Structure 1
């Protein structure tokens, strides 16, 4: 299991963009495909942002981390994160 923590912070003149997630990645086994597990509790990330987190993970997997090769057969478990009342959005 590999724990990944990412923070996205951008300020562009007006409203900024902020997103923060902690994800655990583990193999699902050959042919297991992609699986997304939401383990967020206590509202640390608003529910309406969770689908965007899932989509962002899938997009990153398609681009790969090594020489552009896609990642396959991965379980991504969203375990923690944070948001900003003003600067967070589904886009961030």
Structure 2
């Protein structure tokens, strides 16, 4: 599997009620072995997570199911990351 860095940056109109849904989404990914790391940025502007997927298309499909994305409150950007 490849690693994909997912940046989730909050928009001004983000809904705080989505945060627990986003956190549960991440925990579900972790339980399925698809998440290595995750966490918020200290300035509360958003956060990032390291997603495991077969390819970019699969990573995008997974990340676009994130309530942070489906709510429209965050900008989601993915990068294939050759981290070691």
TM range (shorter): 0.3 to 0.5
Q: Which has the higher contact order (CA 8 A, sep 6+)?
A: 2
| Structure index of larger Rg | 1
